[in-house]
Amino acid sequence: MIRILKSAAAGLLVIGLAGCSSFGGGEKGGDTRYVARDVNSLYLAAKQRLDDGDYRVAGALFDEVERQHPYSPWARRAQLMSSFSYYMARKYTESIQSARRFLSIHPGNKDAPYAYYLIGLSYYEQISDVTRDQKVTQQALSSLGEVQRRYPTTRYAADATLKMDLLSDHLAGKEMEIGRFYQRRSLWLASALRFRQVVDNFETTTHAPEALYRLTESYLAMGVPEDAKKAAAVLGANYPGSKWYARAYDLMQKKAPAA
């Protein structure tokens, strides 16, 4: 992923401007963000900070290229380099803002896939564990889905697809965690609804077999053995060799042998 980002960023950084040897006030440790300079010096100062790994300052300097020289050809590149720099600095909100600003002005640009990809990655890096609210996970899934949908043949789409699979598994894990919580409190209808969500919306994730087993448990506890039988049958048809099917079979034999 980082190789993809850096490779694309390297292409954006290529500059063919003459007379760019001076940074014009961009020395180490100084606040360079609000110093008025020509676009050549300012862009090179940002590039030097990026090369030095000073990503936050690099992002601020690339912002200054756009602010001070909005009609320069380098303003467009600076927007994307700002987004990349902030991403590397783990300033994900700023990275998203820069990429979205680029897309609002240049929606059909050849570098638009890179901007969408940066937005998706910035959300992806912020996802929390399954015990926390999953709003950011949903935003990451939606943003990476945009990459996959709009630019399916790009190098970004393959990585976006992989991450979407991981995000789906993450969201399914959240539903499972809540469902098991309800089960422990004998709230069977609530648990069944959560496990049904996993079965219906995340059937390709690693949580699907357990969800079908937990659904069998919940239906039996609710006194609807026919529904439990259906869940167990789906489990047996799709995951015949899993431990969850073996448990579901034993449970049905014990609790509802005539179902």
Is 258 exposed, middle or buried, given 0-12, 13-18 or 19+ CB atoms closer than 10 A? exposed
Tell me whether residue 80 is in a domain: yes
For residue 104, CA distances in Å to 79, 100, 158 come to 11, 6, 25
Q: Which residue has the higher pLDDT, 8 or 152?
A: 152
Tell me whether residue 13 is in a domain: yes
- Specify the number of domains making up the chain: 1
Tell me whether residue 230 is in a domain: no
Confidence band (pLDDT; 50, 70, 90) for 79? very high
Q: What CATH number does residue 53 fall under?
A: 1.25.40.10
Which pLDDT value is given to residue 183? 97
Please say if the pLDDT value at position 8 is more than 70: no
What six digits make up the tokens of 86? 């902030």
Please say if the pLDDT value at position 90 is more than 60: yes
Which pLDDT value is given to residue 22? 38
The letter for the amino acid at 33 is R
| High-pLDDT (> 90) share of the chain, % | 71
Among 211, 240, 241, 216, smallest CA distance to 226 is for 216
For residue 223, CA distances in Å to 103, 189, 208, 247 come to 54, 11, 23, 18
Please say if the pLDDT value at position 31 is more than 60: no
**Residue 106 gets which letter from DSSP?**
-
**pLDDT per position as a tens digit, 95-153:** 999 999 999 999 999 999 999 999 999 999 998 765 667 789 899 999 999 999 999 99
Tell me whether residue 229 is in a domain: no
Which pLDDT value is given to residue 220? 97
What six digits make up the tokens of 13? 């950084």
Tell me whether residue 212 is in a domain: no
Which pLDDT value is given to residue 14? 56
**What is this structure's pTM?**
0.74
Confidence band (pLDDT; 50, 70, 90) for 41? confident
Tell me whether residue 66 is in a domain: yes
Structural domain that includes position 30: 1-126
Tell me whether residue 30 is in a domain: yes
Which pLDDT value is given to residue 73? 83
Tell me whether residue 82 is in a domain: yes
Give CA–CA dist 162/120, Å, rounded: 12
